[in-house]
Amino acid sequence: MTNSRFGKSVLIVDYKLDELSGLRNIVSGLGFEKIEAASSVNMAMSYLREESFDLVLIAYDLGKTEKNGLQVIQEVYAEKLRLFQTLFLLIVDAGPSSLLVGSLESAPNAYISRPYERAKIQNLLEKLLRVKKAVVRVDESMDSGDWNRALEYCTRLIDIYPGLKVYLERLQGICLLESERYRDAEVLFAGLVTSRKQVWAQVGQGMAYYFMGYHSKAVDVLQQVVDQQHISVEAYTWLARSLQVLGNLSQSVLLMRKAVMLQPSVPQLQSEMGNMAAYAEDWVLAVDAFRAVIKYSRYSVFQNPDHYFALVRCLIARYQIKKENLAEFELEAIRAMEDVIRDFVSDISVQFRAHLVIAELREVLGNTVLAQAELKQALGLFEQLPVDEQWRWLDWIVDASEGKVIAEPVKTLKSQLLHNEHPEPWVVLMKSGLQQYQKGELETACESFRQADFAQAESVAVVLNLAQATLELKAKDSSELSMRHWVDCLVRLNRLNYGAFSLKQQKRYKTLMQRYSAIQIQTDTG
């Protein structure tokens, strides 16, 4: 191992210090030049943000109420800290590793069971490092996002190393999904499912079906993974989304509840459940979910101000139905807004939105004077935003100003924005899309909205406009709309945090999703 260009640096992550020390002693005798150890999730993430490692050994159990090792691997991948060239080994107690599927892309390369056996670990590492040496060109291409070149290398290497065929096919599947070649991906995964019943291949096949618009088939495949009690964030989320598209909202919410029970500290699952529960108007469940996602996503790539706003909006909705525990409700809502301002202290748009939500809270509690004061503060902050940010949050201030004292100045600001001569590229595209939509030019309007979103608009209005134009184009003449664009629109809707929407945005989103589901059910059964 000392002669290999791989295996020079290793990071060991385990909160049990005696276990960590024992594993370090084993690894130190295997020829690694640099060995680092982390006894907590935060320490591990700090190491991974600062440098790359050839090998990461991470315990699944990192302490009660802490993220588990599988989550850390997923977070590293989401934060784009993980390189495909890095080996990730998950340390588990004997038995449960077969259920820890993880993500298709961010699953560990292998598992190590306790109690440790030096010879066994050495043999496993030597085997894995030989594999990494053989596929280095594939890993390098994937790390640089050159999916087509990675696919070419995979094809060549399968002929040279037939023993690595399944491993290379997994990499091919990832590349095909990333390059949006969904039909090819489905064919590949289907072959693997038939021949070997690989769980990750079932997840990949279900995802491919979803992106192809075959939601009933996606449900059939992904339901098998869930029924086998395999722990896969992707299996749960894509299955829940497919069920929702097919009009089975109650089953989607139930599924996400089961997923959260299995992995309560996974922020992606809590966020998904919170948004689905809010959509279903199950405010108690939504509040619990958004509380959890704020807790478990703090200081991670998954931390998002929308979750704080969603929590307060759901608290308000719950209070309006059952007016009780006023003091607790008000205190939690105010603290959440204080937290979001503190956690995103440099973002004026977050401060602006926080004051709007507090104004909504004050209005619900019957304090009009304080509500108006909050609206004026929000307006002042809105005026400080750059023009593109003002466009991004225009719907928020317009909706909040209706019938209020700030209505006239907001109207003036909106007029100024419309006549601004130097808007951002995505704003130009959005305005073009709106003009084309008004003229009935639905196909070109859809393309303008798509391009606006590609230009990093990060705007709810752009996605909702795209969905509306897409639905009307589908209703008018479905032959003009490719299935890829149809499903692409749905994926963009999935990205949004419904719980954080204003009431008008929620109403519009729900109407669009119901129309989308009706057409999709017709397509699936047709």
Tens of pLDDT, residues 319-330: 999 888 899 999
> What pLDDT was estimated at residue 63?
85
- The H helix count followed by the E strand count for the chain is 26, 5
Give domain status of residue 390, yes or no: yes
Instruction: Write out the H or E segment, with its range, that includes residue 71.
Output: helix 69-78
446 and 428 housed in the same domain: yes
Residues 77 and 106 sit within 8 Å (Cβ to Cβ): yes
Starting at the edge strand found earlier in the chain, the sheet holding 110-114 runs 34-38, 9-13, 55-59, 87-93, 110-114
Give domain status of residue 442, yes or no: yes
Residues 140 and 153 sit within 8 Å (Cβ to Cβ): no
> What pLDDT was estimated at residue 157?
96
Percent pLDDT > 70 in the chain is 96
Enter the tokens of residue 27. 């690894």
Confidence check: pLDDT of 125 > 90: no
Rounded CA-CA distance 102/108 in Å is 8
The whole domain housing 430 covers 423-525
Enter the tokens of residue 416. 């100024």
407 CB neighbour count, 10 Å cutoff: 14
Identify the DSSP state of 56.
Answer: E
Give ∠ CA 10-123-80 in degrees, rounded to 5.
35
418 and 430 housed in the same domain: no
29 and 122 housed in the same domain: yes
388 and 442 housed in the same domain: no
Give domain status of residue 119, yes or no: yes
Give domain status of residue 224, yes or no: no
Give domain status of residue 305, yes or no: no
Residue that terminates a domain, selected from 371, 387, 422: 422
Smallest CA-to-CA distance from 372 within 401, 331, 348, 392 is with 401
Confidence check: pLDDT of 10 > 50: yes
Q: Which residues contact 379 (CB under 8 A, 6 or more apart)?
A: 397, 406, 409, 410
Residue that terminates a domain, selected from 141, 176, 195: 141
Domain count, the chain: 3
Instruction: Write out the H or E segment, with its range, that includes residue 291.
Output: helix 283-297
Q: pTM, whole model, 2 decimals? A: 0.86
455 and 514 housed in the same domain: yes
Tens of pLDDT, residues 250-289: 999 999 998 888 778 888 889 999 999 999 999 999 999 9
Rg (CA), the chain: 25
121 and 35 housed in the same domain: yes
